[in-house]
Chains A and B, each alone.
Chain A
Amino acid sequence: FQAPLTVSPKDPKMDAQTPMKSATSYNNFYEFGTDKTDPSENAGTLRTRPWEIAVDGDVGKPTTFGIEDLLAFPLEERVYRLRCVEGWSMVIPWVGFPLAELLKRVDPTGNAKYVAFQTLSDRSQMPGLKYPVLQWPYVEGLRMDEAMHPLTILAVGMYGETLPNQNGAPVRLVVPWKYGFKSIKSIVRITLTQDQPPTSWNRSQPREYGFYSNVNPEVDHPRWSQATERRVGEFSRRKTLPFNGYGEEVASLYAGMDLRKNY
């Protein structure tokens, strides 16, 4: 690994790292079940070697990256806050590299306005696919400028170790200023597109989950408030920050946009 890089730890108390045991045993990964402990109990069946990500669409050089190719990118540690749409949060030291580095290798064309991501969908490895909780495979998307932003990373590890299966092994997205469900796990395909791609939760409940899904204490989820969150391991709630506290870095991406409409 290269020298550790810590991003915006302005308040040292606020950014105390979540115990690894919590971050690896309290997960939403519905491909392995809907209870928080299901992924850590069931994800042992996920085979992470060999693994490939196909990168295609509006690119000059469509490429399939093996997991070895991904691990060959210069890896850095990033300590990010993770805010779940359900109202809890963690602070996790990820290990990975900027998504921009990968995208540069495939030569996006001028048509590429969005990036679509897809999770593995294999019933033999993912028992949760038996239930129609969502339409499988899980898909997510970013606007091109969000995808190219230096804070957006592909993670292959956490807490200095290889990414555990329940956390989206072998490679997942981490977009720290958006609700956790945007940070899609166990990615097998990345497609650059001209049109805004469908995203799983938006497809399931369009009124509740928008395409952007930026952390925003002002815009409530229709079924619960987003004004506060509980940091896992703490007792009382804390105020949720706009853009999960990364406004200085990312607010300019949304200049002129009505974030109540584009939630």
Chain B
Amino acid sequence: MAAAQKNLAKGPVARALASRWAKPAVFVLGLVPLGWMVWLGVSGGLGAEPVAEAVRQSGLWALRLLLVALAVTPLRILTGQAGLARFRRMIGLFAFFYALLHVSVYVGVDQFFDWAAVWKDIVKRPYITVGMGAFVILTALAATSTNGMVRRLGGRRWKALHKAVFLAGAAGCVHYVMLVKGWQYPPFVYAAILLGLVALRYTKSPAAGRLSPSYRT
């Protein structure tokens, strides 16, 4: 296994992941949903209710990118591509960025900074309470995402704190399940993917066993 990993690490994929262009490329990819939303906005593609659609799209992208960030480590283990790890922080920060956009459009455009109405929503409506909970967690994680903060908190405490990302993911999924009307399946697809990613971390495959120290972070 270790030998296979070494070989893989020298393959074209590993070289691409290690390239100095890889991070800028992921950064640009992370901006694509924003660009798409702006394009829809100016071309009228957000439909008859552009505010509601902007809230919906930004929320969906926050959840999608959060799941992608959570998939990085399992994917690294499964493929043996150690080079994947260095993109995890950026993808996580993009998830936070879209969550921030989601909350900003809701507070600033949908509610037009009516803080009383927003506060009432947060305390009275469970799906907004849960969604805000996810956002608070993501904010804390984004704020402590720098190397300096890792150093200041100490590795062990930092890791413990950043496990809360699963809680944020779960809250995001629950938020989505709770806000739709009737029995709709798309929110459950996101929840199932999250559960799958969590299950992967706690499955003890022989390979994972060997790699376990970093696997559970």
Q: Footprint of B on A, CB under 8 Å?
A: 21-23, 25-26, 30, 34, 36-37, 86, 88, 131-134, 201, 204, 220, 222-225, 227-228, 230, 232-233, 235-237
Assess A36 versus B47: contact at CB under 8 Å? Given A133-B184, A223-B179, A225-B120.
yes
Assess A233 versus B48: contact at CB under 8 Å? Given A133-B183, A134-B182.
yes
Assess A25 versus B48: contact at CB under 8 Å? Given A131-B185, A204-B182, A220-B124.
yes
Assess A236 versus B182: contact at CB under 8 Å? Given A26-B47, A223-B127.
no
Give the complex CA separation of A88 and B109 in angstroms: 14
Q: Return chain A residues, CB-CB under 8 Å to B109.
A: 235
Assess A88 versus B52: contact at CB under 8 Å? Given A220-B124, A225-B121, A236-B112.
yes
Q: Pick the residue among A224, A230, A235, A236 that contacts B125 (CB under 8 A).
A: A224
Interface of chain B residues 85 through 141 with chain A (CB within 8 A): 109-112, 117, 120-121, 124-127
Interface-centre pick from B127, B180, B181, B183 (highest chain A CB count, 10 A): B181
Q: Return chain B residues, CB-CB under 8 Å to A133.
A: 182-184
Contact B48 A22 (CB under 8 A): yes
Q: Which residue of A lies closest to B117 (CB)?
A: A225
Q: Pick the residue among B126, B183, B185 that contacts A223 (CB under 8 A).
A: B126
Interface residues of B, count at CB 8 A: 24
15 additional A-B residue pairs with CB within 8 Å, beyond A36-B48, A88-B49: A26-B49, A36-B47, A36-B49, A86-B181, A131-B185, A134-B183, A201-B181, A222-B125, A223-B125, A224-B121, A228-B117, A230-B49, A232-B48, A233-B48, A236-B112
- Is the C-beta of B161 less than 8 angstroms from some C-beta in chain A? no
Give the complex CA separation of A223 and B111 in angstroms: 16
- Is the C-beta of B51 less than 8 angstroms from some C-beta in chain A? yes
Give the complex CA separation of A133 and B120 in angstroms: 29
Contact B183 A26 (CB under 8 A): no
Assess A237 versus B182: contact at CB under 8 Å? Given A25-B48, A26-B47.
no
Give the complex CA separation of A228 and B112 in angstroms: 12
Q: Which residue of A lies closest to B52 (CB)?
A: A88
Interface-centre pick from B48, B51, B111, B121 (highest chain A CB count, 10 A): B48
Q: Return chain B residues, CB-CB under 8 Å to A223.
A: 125-127, 178-179
Contact A34 B184 (CB under 8 A): yes
Give the complex CA separation of A125 and B46 in angstroms: 27
Give the complex CA separation of A41 and B178 in angstroms: 26
Give the complex CA separation of A236 and B185 in angstroms: 31
CB distance from B167 to the nearest CB of A (A): 22
Q: Which residue of B lies closest to A18 (CB)?
A: B48
Assess A34 versus B48: contact at CB under 8 Å? Given A220-B124, A237-B112.
no
Assess A131 versus B184: contact at CB under 8 Å? Given A220-B124, A224-B125.
yes
- Among all A-B residue pairs, the 7 with the closest Cβ atoms: A26-B48, A22-B48, A133-B182, A232-B48, A133-B183, A134-B182, A132-B183
Give the complex CA separation of A131 and B184 in angstroms: 8
CB distance from A205 to the nearest CB of B (A): 8
